[in-house]
Amino acid sequence: DRNIQYLIETELEQAVIRYGAQRGSVIVLNPKTGAILGMANYPAYDPNDYSASPESLFFDPNVSEQYEPGSVFKIITMAAGLDAGAVSPGTFVYDGGHMEVGGRVIYNWDRQGHGNVDMTDVLAQSLNVGIAQVATALGKERFYTYVKRFGFGHLTEIDLSSEGPGTLKTPREANWYESDLGTNSFGQGIAVTPVQIAIA
């Protein structure tokens, strides 16, 4: 959509400059169909003058750059927990500020305990301990089945070159550890592309 494309390119450039960011990316899609309505990166290159830009700008980071998603991934874990019936919006868990999963201690971002919290609080306060409890309630088989069904760990097959599949270890692999269930639940220890996150 040329109007959306123009708007996001303009706004993205202004935002990167305003906030002194190194770069930025935007994807706008139709949530019902997955159709991409606009996709932009800044800095970008002028396709009418390739020679004036460094080659590093020719690859689209929206499809090729893999990164650790962090807390954005909590939405995926919560959606899986709700869909599977492992939790409901009114489910309460106790957050003592830390918990052990597979021999590894997981802490909240603020290193604080938040007491009894429901699933809305877990997301609103971005609680690692709460979301790890959702993942453990799901169990490793169901958790990774949902993560794969959301499209992580493989190509989206978008019609653009140099797409990256991301990185997702599962319990069937030798380098997977029980602690990964806890850390993966809040987006650590996995890699995704921006288009995978948007489509999920």
Q: Which two tokens stand for residue 194?
A: 């921006």
Contact of 185 with 143, CB cutoff 8 Å: yes
- What's the one-letter identity of residue 65? E
Backbone phi, psi, residue 79, to 5°: -60, -40
Per DSSP, the three-state class of 138 is helix
- Strand pairing class (36-42; 98-101): unpaired
Interatomic CA distance for residues 195 and 155, integer angstroms = 10
Per DSSP, the three-state class of 18 is helix
> Does residue 71 have an active-site annotation?
yes
Q: Which of 53, 64, 71, 126 is catalytic?
A: 71
Interatomic CA distance for residues 73 and 81, integer angstroms = 13
Q: Which residues are catalytic?
A: 71
